[in-house]
Amino acid sequence: MLKYKRILLKISGEAMMGDMAYGVDPSTVDFIAREIKVAVTIGVELAIVIGGGNIFRGVEASLKGIERTSADYMGMLATVINALALQNYLEKYNIPTRVQSAIEMKELAEPYIRRKAMRHLEKGRTVIFAAGTGNPYFTTDTAASLRAMEINADVILKATKVDGIYSSDPMKDPSAKKYHTVTYIDVLKQGLSIMDSTAISLCMDNNLPIVVFNLRDKGNIRKIIEGKKIGTLVRGKDGTRVKKKDH
C-alpha cells in the first residue's frame, strides 16, 4: 500500500554534481535515476523539478554585476541542461520521460502545458519540469510548489544532503536538534532554510505536505512513498490535506 500516489520530487542542481565542485557527475545522476526507477516501478506517478545551481546561480551572478533578470534567465537555462541530463539517464533504465520547459525551446523540450503534463503522468511517464516558473525573481523551490499544486501532487519530496530539518546546520553544530515533524509556521518563524518563504507559504496556503530527506541514502524515496518515517515532515497543525479537483 502506497502512502503517496503522485509526488513532486525537488532536486537541487547541487545534488547533480555529487562531490564535484561544478557540473554534472555521471555516477551521481545514474544513482538518482536508479532511485527514481524504483519509485516508478512500484506504481508512483512522478514529476520532478530540478535546479541549476551546479552550473549557474542567478542570485549570485546578480551580486557580481549581471543584471538580475538576465542572471535569472541564465539560471533557468542551467536547469534545462540538468533536466536533459537526468532524462538521458532515466531513459537508459527504460523510464519514459518528458521534459517540459517553462521557456519555449521546442527542439529540446515540450512547452509546459499543465493538462499535457497530467496526461503524461497518468500514462506512467515521468515528467521533468525545467526552467523554473519561467519568470525571474522566483526560485526553483517556488516552481516546485507551484507545479505540485498544478498537477495535484500528494506531497513534495525535497531532496537534500542531510537527513531532515535541524535547528541549526548539523554540519557545523553537533548539538543541532533534528525535527521529525514541523509546521509551516515554525519553518517560517524559525527561519529554517529548507525552501524559500514564498514556496513554504504556497504549500501552507494549500496544505501540501513536504518531506525533507537525504537523497544520498539508497532506498529513501521508496521508503517515504511506502509511508516509512524518513527525514522531516512539514505540514499544518492538523496534518490534513485538501485535494483540489482537476477541472
What is the mean pLDDT of each successive set of 10 residues along the chain, which is 247 residues long? Answer: 96 93 95 97 97 87 87 95 98 98 96 98 98 96 98 97 89 89 94 91 96 96 96 81 46
Per the prediction, the chain carries an average pLDDT of: 93
Dihedral-angle region of residue 137 (phi above 0 means left; psi in -120 to 50 means alpha; beta otherwise): left
For the chain, what percent of residues have pLDDT higher than 90?
83
Instruction: Name the grid cell of 247.
Output: 477541472
Tell me, yes or no, whether 236 lies in a domain. no
Eight-state DSSP code of residue 54: T
Distances (CA, A) of 216 to 33, 136, 152: 12, 30, 27
Tell me, yes or no, whether 133 lies in a domain. yes
Instruction: Name the grid cell of 188.
Output: 517560517
**Buried (b) or exposed (e) across 169-200, using 16+ Cβ within 10 A?**
ebeeeeeeeebeebbbeebeeeebebbeeebb
β-strand 126-130 against 45-50: which pairing, if any? parallel
Q: Is 132 exposed, middle or buried (0-12, 13-18, 19+ CB in 10 A)?
A: buried
Residue 197, domain CATH: 3.40.1160.10
Tell me, yes or no, whether 237 lies in a domain. no
Note the pLDDT of residue 196: 92
Helical pair 26-41 and 68-92, crossing angle rounded to 10 deg: 60
Tell me, yes or no, whether 239 lies in a domain. no
Q: Containing H/E element for 129?
A: strand 126-130
Tell me, yes or no, whether 246 lies in a domain. no
Distances (CA, A) of 229 to 3, 224, 233: 11, 7, 9
Tell me, yes or no, whether 242 lies in a domain. no
Q: Containing H/E element for 63?
A: helix 58-63
Tell me, yes or no, whether 118 lies in a domain. yes
CB atoms within 10 A of CB 39: 23
How many domains does the chain contain in total?
Answer: 1
CB atoms within 10 A of CB 23: 15
Range of the domain at 44: 6-229
Position of cell 516552481?
A: 143
Tell me, yes or no, whether 192 lies in a domain. yes
